Structure 1
Amino acid sequence: MSPFDTYLQLRDKVDTLCRQIEKAHTDAISCQAGCDSCCLALTLFPVEAYALAKAVAAQPETVRERLRGRGRKVGDNGACPLLEEGHCLLYGDRPIICRTHGLPILLREPEGTRVDFCPLNFVGYDSLTGSSLIDLERLNELLAAINHDFVTRNFGPQALPDRIAIGEALRLPWPPRAAGKTSS
Structure 2
Amino acid sequence: MKEITLSPELTKEIAAIYQAMQEGYDRVSEEVELTCEGCPDNCCDSYFLHHTYSEWAYLWQGLHQLDPEKLERIVKQAKEYIAHSAEALTKGRRPQIMCPLNDNGLCGLYHHRMLVCRMHGIPATLTRPDGQSMRFPGCFRCQEIVKEKYESETDAPAMDRSQLFRRLAALEASLLKGRSHLYPRVKKTIAEMIIAGPPSVPLPHCER
TM-score past 0.5 threshold: yes
SS in 1 for 2:66: coil
1:133 is aligned to 2:158: yes
Question: CA-to-partner distance for each residue in 1:143-162, whole Å, 9 max, x for gaps?
Answer: 22222222338xx5323423
Amino acid at match of 1:152: K
Which residue of 1 is the match for residue 190 of structure 2? Answer: 166
Amino acid at match of 1:150: L
**CA distance in structure 1 between the partners assigned to 2:161 and 2:27 by the alignment:** 17
Q: Is the alpha carbon distance of 1:177 and 1:107 closer, same or farther for their aligned partners in structure 2, counting shifts above 3 Å? A: closer
Which residue of 2 is the match for residue 40 of structure 1? Answer: 46
Deviant stretches of 4+, over 4 Å: 107-113, 176-180
Q: Is the 8 A contact 1:81 1:167 kept in 2?
A: yes
1:152 to 177, 180, 202: 177
**CA distance in structure 2 between the partners assigned to 1:5 and 1:102 by the alignment:** 25
**CA distance in structure 2 between the partners assigned to 1:12 and 1:73 by the alignment:** 31
1:29 to 27, 34, 52: 34
1:117 to 108, 130, 138: 138
Question: If the length of structure 1 is used for normalisation, what is the TM-score?
Answer: 0.75
**CA distance in structure 2 between the partners assigned to 1:51 and 1:172 by the alignment:** 14
SS in 1 for 2:176: helix
Q: CA RMSD in A?
A: 3.0
Q: How does 1:58-97 map to 2 (within 5 A)?
A: 58-74=65-81, 75-76=84-85, 77-79=95-97, 80-97=99-116
**CA distance in structure 2 between the partners assigned to 1:55 and 1:70 by the alignment:** 17
The range that moved more, 8-17 or 72-81, is 72-81
Whichever structure has more helix as a proportion of its residues is: 2
* The structure with more radius of gyration: 2
**CA distance in structure 2 between the partners assigned to 1:31 and 1:162 by the alignment:** 30
Q: Is the 8 A contact 2:29 2:35 kept in 1?
A: no
Which residue of 2 is the match for residue 100 of structure 1? Answer: 119
SS in 2 for 1:164: coil
Q: Is the 8 A contact 2:125 2:133 kept in 1?
A: no
Unpaired runs of at least 5, structure 1 = none
Q: How many residues align?
A: 172
Identity among equivalent pairs (%) = 18
**CA distance in structure 2 between the partners assigned to 1:102 and 1:18 by the alignment:** 9
Q: Is the 8 A contact 1:42 1:165 kept in 2?
A: yes
Q: Is the alpha carbon distance of 1:112 and 1:46 closer, same or farther for their aligned partners in structure 2, counting shifts above 3 Å? A: closer
Which residue of 2 is the match for residue 10 of structure 1? Answer: 17
Q: Is the 8 A contact 1:46 1:160 kept in 2?
A: no
**CA distance in structure 2 between the partners assigned to 1:106 and 1:62 by the alignment:** 40
Unpaired runs of at least 5, structure 2 = 1-7, 86-94
